[in-house]
Structure 1
Amino acid sequence: MRLSSLADYAVVMMAAAARHCGASCRLNATLLAGETGLPLPTVQKLVSKLSAAGLIESARGTGGGFRLARPPATISVADIVEAIEGPIALTSCVDSGKHDCCVQDSCRVKPHWNAVNGAVKGALAGITLSQLSASPAPAAEVQSPVSVDRVPALAGEQV
């Protein structure tokens, strides 16, 4: 699974906006393009998509620009990804509008895809723009969520 470049760039741009001044001041696309290294037309396209999704507010004219529509702590990576990509749906089974799987009538995994999709979406929803815009913790403080000594159990195996 891989995000599109546009979704990745949107997360980068929104994190830069949060670092710059959060939801309290207006920014412009040229400033963010320079700060992030993203091409100006890409930043402008992202501003349009993120504005349409209600994640940023934009104003034209003197004193115009854009700002985050909500505090960074209330904007998740899932919000940003869905603004660019649409609903998070790992398979066509969980995409309510699509039913193009040739084995959907006999698939024994289909009932479980909603749980898998929910876990991925939940993980993305659990990471806020505030976290992404903060300075990273020193390497000694970063802890792996899963011990390297522990091997995950197989389905049905006792842990």
Structure 2
Amino acid sequence: MLRLSKLTDYAVVVMARLALDGAGPNGRVQTAPGLAAATGIAEPTVAKVLKMLGQAGLVEGVRGARGGYRLTRPLPAIPLSEVIAAVDGPIALTACVDGGLGACEAEGLCAVRGRWDPVNEAIRKALSGITIADLAGPGHCPAARMSASFAPMLAE
């Protein structure tokens, strides 16, 4: 089974929570303890996720008495593939797809070497087409809100 890590899931939850208070340079900052309380994720885990997201340029830290974290872009501008790469590393189904020569002891004899590349590329493309706003839902991001005409269908 292909499965993302819990940290990637937590990263999406933290980013969705950050979006509630705005994104970008003018967005309100939130602290790691505040995000932990709001999401139910342990504070050390939130801090770890924020560090990874910060290193990838998806969130930025603001220093000072009123410091904390905020998104660097609105959620609709952040593809899921970037979050996965920030937390779990490059998206690759097998070591040879990742371009890691010498990662497999059978690569010299492998009959399918290079054949996984199109499959991996399709997965990367699909994950790039899904934004964090898509996952966060209409209540988390103004740009991702559905029109009122669709809201009754969701309640059913």
**What TM-score, normalized to structure 2?**
0.80
Quote the Cα distance in structure 1 between the aligned partners of 2:31 and 2:60: 11
Aligned pairs for 1:3-152 within 5 A: 3-23=4-24, 24-135=27-138
Task: Specify the code of the residue in structure 1 equivalent to 2:54.
Answer: S
Unaligned runs of 5+ in 2: 140-149
> Is the contact between residue 58 and residue 73 of structure 2 (CA under 8 Å) also seen in structure 1?
yes
Unaligned runs of 5+ in 1: 142-159
Quote the Cα distance in structure 1 between the aligned partners of 2:49 and 2:100: 25
Quote the Cα distance in structure 2 between the aligned partners of 1:96 and 1:106: 16
> Is the contact between residue 13 and residue 36 of structure 1 (CA under 8 Å) also seen in structure 2?
yes
Please say which of residues 44-53 and 7-16 is displaced more in the overlay: 7-16
CA deviations 1:20-53 (Å, max 9, x no partner) are 4233221111221112110011001111111111
Task: Specify the code of the residue in structure 1 equivalent to 2:23.
Answer: G
Quote the Cα distance in structure 2 between the aligned partners of 1:33 and 1:98: 40
SS, match of residue 115 in structure 2: helix
CA apart distance, 1:66: 0.8
Work out the number of aligned pairs and report it. Answer: 141
Quote the Cα distance in structure 1 between the aligned partners of 2:81 and 2:88: 10
SS, match of residue 110 in structure 1: coil
Quote the Cα distance in structure 2 between the aligned partners of 1:139 and 1:2: 32
CA deviations 1:45-81 (Å, max 9, x no partner) are 1111111111101012122111101121111111111
**What TM-score, normalized to structure 1?**
0.78
